[in-house]
Amino acid sequence: MKRTEWITSLFCAAMMAVPGMSWSASATRSVFGTLADGSKVDAVTLSNSHGVSARVMALGASLQSLNAPDRHGKSADIILGYADVGSYIDQPQYFGATVGRYANRIAKGRFTIDAHAYSTPTNDVTNSLHGGTKGFDKVLWKVTGVKQDAKQASVTLQYNSADGEMGYPGNVVVTATYTLDESDRLSIDYGATTDKPTLVNLSNHTYWNLGGEGSGSVMDDRLTIPADSYLPVDAGSIPTGAFTDVTGTPFDFRKPKAIGHDVRRNDPQLRNGHGYDHNWVISRKVSATPRIVAHVEDLASGRVLTLTSSQPGLQFYSGNFLNGTTAGPAGRLYRQGDAFVLEPQLFPDTPNHPDFGSAVLRPGQTYRNLMVYQLSISH
């Protein structure tokens, strides 16, 4: 242990021993594993006094585990992941990862900024997905800050993306701050600045199973998405450009509905996405204040997840491509429909759809995407 870490640990122990002083939230630093080049993958575990703990690792600025109690007080890891760093490298599936520079898809990997044409590698058949072949999920971030007090604990990670990386212009400094508080809120606050006009659209790709990772299907979970319209996609999962009313479609989640209620309906859009893999229109632009974009309840465990964000779009993915070839920390195989993903973000392929707004970040501007996951229990 380094001298500074030893002093910090001694100080924290002393503070907890002081009568009348509460030190409930905590942040504990460790090493999750080692990459092939010898680089250490740092990890920080954030914990609160209610039995909630979140481990964040520097590879991909990823949420690696999230433990939370059910209505009977039994704790379980409620997100999908791997037990070792090697599996994240050998079998990448975006588990818990920060995705960017551009979350979701860009058609043919091509876009234009100020009349200049750019291209990024295609890794989703003919499209670029989550930043290309080596997006932010596959790089090692640096832990730049760890904080804790009686009410919350946090970790900040940073990545400097060079001009031209994956074809994107501009040197971009990206930060991700994870915070767990004593109200059982886990927040992820993304920020970015640039020295040239570029695209930035960051999100988090955590796979959720509120019954516990490896526990089976999430199709009975009741989902609410407060959106009147969604973005239909073509056979390559690129938005057609239309804003389609959800009324009378399998995409209407304005009232709580089991995820699997309509997933097997013979609907062209469900065929295109192999299930749900679409963007819901929360609003037509970034909101000035965060609002609820999704609410999920697992009736069996009683765990409830409420997600807030200021982003205009919400990508909901029903775990369609989990195929039973990978296993989580508990040793159980992940199969189709064993998790769901909720990604607040700008609309997919925005650079090629003027009606979708702009995804351009310019020098002097600061990109931000604050997502808050509120955990609770229904009885």
Distance from C-alpha of 125 to C-alpha of 160, rounded to nearest angstrom: 28
DSSP calls for 65-107? EEEEE-TTS-EEE-B---SSHHHHHHS---TT-EE-SB-SEEG
340 touches 218 (CB < 8 A): yes
Distance from C-alpha of 304 to C-alpha of 293, rounded to nearest angstrom: 14
Structure token digits, residue 57: 């690792």
Distance from C-alpha of 265 to C-alpha of 108, rounded to nearest angstrom: 29
Distance from C-alpha of 113 to C-alpha of 357, rounded to nearest angstrom: 13
In this structure, the dihedral spanned by the alpha carbons of residues 172, 175, 176 and 179, taken in order and rounded to 10 degrees, is -160
Which residues, listed in sequence order, are joined to residue 23 by a DSSP beta bridge? none
Is 295 annotated as catalytic? no
Q: Which of 165, 213, 297, 343 is catalytic?
A: 343
Q: Which of 130, 165, 205, 295 is catalytic?
A: 205
* Residues 104, 241, 367, 339, CA torsion sign: negative
Distance from C-alpha of 183 to C-alpha of 128, rounded to nearest angstrom: 38
DSSP calls for 158-171? EEEEPTTGGG--S-
Is 343 annotated as catalytic? yes
Distance from C-alpha of 272 to C-alpha of 267, rounded to nearest angstrom: 9
> Which active-site residues does the annotation give?
205, 343
